[in-house]
Structure 1
């Protein structure tokens, strides 16, 4: 059974988000403070493992997602240098941009996209959206109460407000929020990177947790960028798809 045709939750989850979560858990451990202090610095190994996993994934996905993953790497590279080194929004352990990070963004993008395309997700779209929304609200509220995460809470509210008028994209971004939340919790607990105590370390009225709960808000830019470049390269095919969609509606 292929990933897309998975009709029940566990196969659909394990073959997409579950596999992604395992990669995140193991891959970030290689770049953790624990490994560097008790063995040796192995960010190079994390980079190597990511290149292998990314290459295998790139080979296995279909042509459209392969192209979008490449766009995701390019956009993420620019974004990382701008947000981390340029604006100081967050800082990596060695105060650099690890090579595995942009490829990691592309893997998250692909993993979430494939989950939303499974038969299970399509058949249970409304249920999953409700469950994800409840989990996201609980997550943001807990961080607000116990970690004074005003910055993350504001971003979470902004995300949910934007998605109210985006029914077609809602499932993708809610699933992305969950995936990014997991990624951030693992990465900050491993001390691969950390976030300052206020937004951008310069806005005192927006105290932030490490990590802020709603940071997935900025993944809108990644997805919109990937779609923008894909549409520009495939104008005729994209127009045909929109026409078919209009006829169905």
Structure 2
């Protein structure tokens, strides 16, 4: 059964976000403080797990998504070394950039993309958008009140304000926000990485929680960069698709 054409919203959700969330939990557990207690090769096992997951996904998706996955990995490598190593925005357990992280970004991109395009999900798109928006506001507010997460709250509000004028992209990015929130909670609780108590550990007027709630705003840069590269590589096809969309509207 095709995920995108499935009439079951449960099936579409499990085959996209469900499997993605299970894989995130399992993969990060392999690099967690639990595994460190029993082996020195915790990160190696996480890298192997990610390699298997990445290539299985790469083999199953179409050529267009494969190309976007490659762009996502390239952008993620550059972004991780910029934000983590150079700027010190967050720090991984071994103070490196684990090999599993860049392809992990690509898998998150693919999982959210397939969920947001599934026909059974799109039927209830507006309802789900409203639920996701309410959840995000409650989530960020709770982090602000109980964790003094000013940095995360500011990024969350900025995200929602930006998406107000982006109706076509809104569903994808709201889903991405929630997925990133899940990923960050798992990763920080497993001590795979850590965020400083203020933004970048520099701006004292922006206290931050570990993790900050709205950090998905920076993940959006990867998504936009991936799409930008694809558009540049396929200008004619992208222009044709835009014209078809205009005719439908």
For 1:187, the equivalent position in structure 2 comes to 187
For 2:87, the equivalent position in structure 1 comes to 87
TM-superposition CA deviations, 1:128-175 (whole Å, max 9, x none): 100110111110011000000000000000000000000000000000
Secondary structure class of the residue paired with 2:37:
helix
Figure out how many residues of one structure are paired with residues of the other and give that number. 249
TM-superposition CA deviations, 1:20-43 (whole Å, max 9, x none): 000000000000112102343310
In structure 1, C-alpha distance between the alignment counterparts of 2:168 and 2:21, rounded to whole Å: 25
For 1:138, the equivalent position in structure 2 comes to 138
Secondary structure class of the residue paired with 2:204:
strand
For 2:125, the equivalent position in structure 1 comes to 125
Secondary structure class of the residue paired with 1:72:
helix
In structure 2, C-alpha distance between the alignment counterparts of 1:121 and 1:72, rounded to whole Å: 24
For 1:198, the equivalent position in structure 2 comes to 198
In structure 2, C-alpha distance between the alignment counterparts of 1:170 and 1:7, rounded to whole Å: 22
2:21 corresponds to 1:21: yes
For 1:164, the equivalent position in structure 2 comes to 164
For 1:152, the equivalent position in structure 2 comes to 152
For 2:244, the equivalent position in structure 1 comes to 244
2:65 corresponds to 1:103: no
Following superposition, the deviation at residue 120 of structure 1 comes to 1.6
For 2:33, the equivalent position in structure 1 comes to 33
TM-score, normalised on structure 1?
0.98
Following superposition, the deviation at residue 121 of structure 1 comes to 1.7
In structure 2, C-alpha distance between the alignment counterparts of 1:15 and 1:167, rounded to whole Å: 25
Which is further off, 7-16 or 89-98?
A: 7-16
1:69-84 mapped onto 2 (5 Å cutoff): 69-84=69-84
Secondary structure class of the residue paired with 1:5:
coil
In structure 2, C-alpha distance between the alignment counterparts of 1:65 and 1:27, rounded to whole Å: 22
For 1:43, the equivalent position in structure 2 comes to 43
Structure 1 unaligned runs (5+)?
Answer: none
Following superposition, the deviation at residue 224 of structure 1 comes to 1.0
Secondary structure class of the residue paired with 1:38:
coil
2:199 corresponds to 1:225: no
Which is further off, 32-41 or 230-239?
A: 32-41
In structure 2, C-alpha distance between the alignment counterparts of 1:7 and 1:190, rounded to whole Å: 36
For 1:173, the equivalent position in structure 2 comes to 173
TM-superposition CA deviations, 1:105-142 (whole Å, max 9, x none): 00000000000111122111101100110111110011
In structure 2, C-alpha distance between the alignment counterparts of 1:151 and 1:9, rounded to whole Å: 34
Following superposition, the deviation at residue 7 of structure 1 comes to 2.4
In structure 1, C-alpha distance between the alignment counterparts of 2:40 and 2:98, rounded to whole Å: 16
TM-score, normalised on structure 2?
0.98
TM-superposition CA deviations, 1:27-67 (whole Å, max 9, x none): 00000112102343310111011111101100101111111
